[in-house]
Amino acid sequence: MTLEEQVAEAIRRFNALNATDPRQVSVDGTLRPYELLQAERVESWLLRLVPDPSPALRLAARCQHLLRFRVPRDNYPRDRVGYLKWRKDLARYHADEAEKVLVELGIDPAIRAQVRKIQLKQELKEDPETQAMEDALCLAFLEFELEDFAKKHEDDKVIDIIQKTWRKMSPRGHSLALGLPLTERSARLVTEALGPAGDAPEPS
């Protein structure tokens, strides 16, 4: 297979694995596997950030959270230490599962190494591809998950999450985030999170 064929087949396999997610989300009246939908959303944002991504970045967009549902949060203590251990184990799990697919397809070791680097978020703020993936993940969260998160938590908790998300993003990511159509409450919380010196999106 050519590299393009290898990448296409790897993405097809990643999609098939994520499509086994038992969690279903209704989108325009159609139920979709949650993790497959999330991969599509991340890829969509990534293509806005990097219109001509490398093979490694294209692959990483589809396997960043590969099979996440197999490592549930409830398997870990419900405290900060348990949360951090869960996140660390998840990153390695995603990378290891993706590696199996990429090795089987004979994808170049250098490309495999870059996919893993992106998945493990190594050299964030330094490697442009790792940063682009982080921006895409943050933008997908702000666009599709912030509202539901805000409904379940008090303002202080939501503001804290927005601030933590903002710190991980690049100036380009910030610019795109400020153009998101948010509800009145979410827009207000973003404004409070960014402080008086920050700009904020207009509520939709």
Where does the pLDDT of residue 204 fall: very low under 50, low under 70, confident under 90, or very high at 90 and above? very low
- pTM beyond 0.75: yes
Q: How much is the average pLDDT of 16-31?
A: 95
Q: Evaluate whether 82 touches 53 at the Cβ level (below 8 Å).
A: no
pLDDT at 30 exceeding the cut of 90:
yes
Q: What is the pLDDT of residue 195?
A: 82
Q: What is the DSSP letter of 198?
A: S
pLDDT of amino acid 199: 52
- Average pLDDT value for the chain: 93
| pLDDT tier at 33, thresholds 50, 70, 90 | very high
Sort residue 151 into left (φ over 0), alpha (ψ -120 to 50) or beta. alpha
Q: What's the pLDDT at 4?
A: 97
Q: DSSP label at 69?
A: G
Of the chain, the percentage scoring pLDDT greater than 90 comes to 91
C-alpha–C-alpha distance, residues 19 and 35, integer Å? 7
Tell me the residue type at 107. I
Helix, strand, coil percentages, rounded to 5, for the chain: 70, 5, 25
Residue in 42, 13, 37, 14 with CA at minimum distance from that of residue 24:
37
| Average pLDDT estimate for 164-172 | 95
Of 171, 54, 160, which Cα lies nearest the Cα of 114? 54
Cα gap 98→92, rounded to integer Å: 10
**pLDDT reported for residue 196:** 62
The 10s digit of each residue's pLDDT in 115-152 is 999 999 999 999 999 999 999 999 999 999 999 999 99
DSSP string, 119-147: HTTTTTTTSHHHHHHHHHHHHHHHHHTHH
Cα(117)–Cα(120) distance, integer angstroms: 5
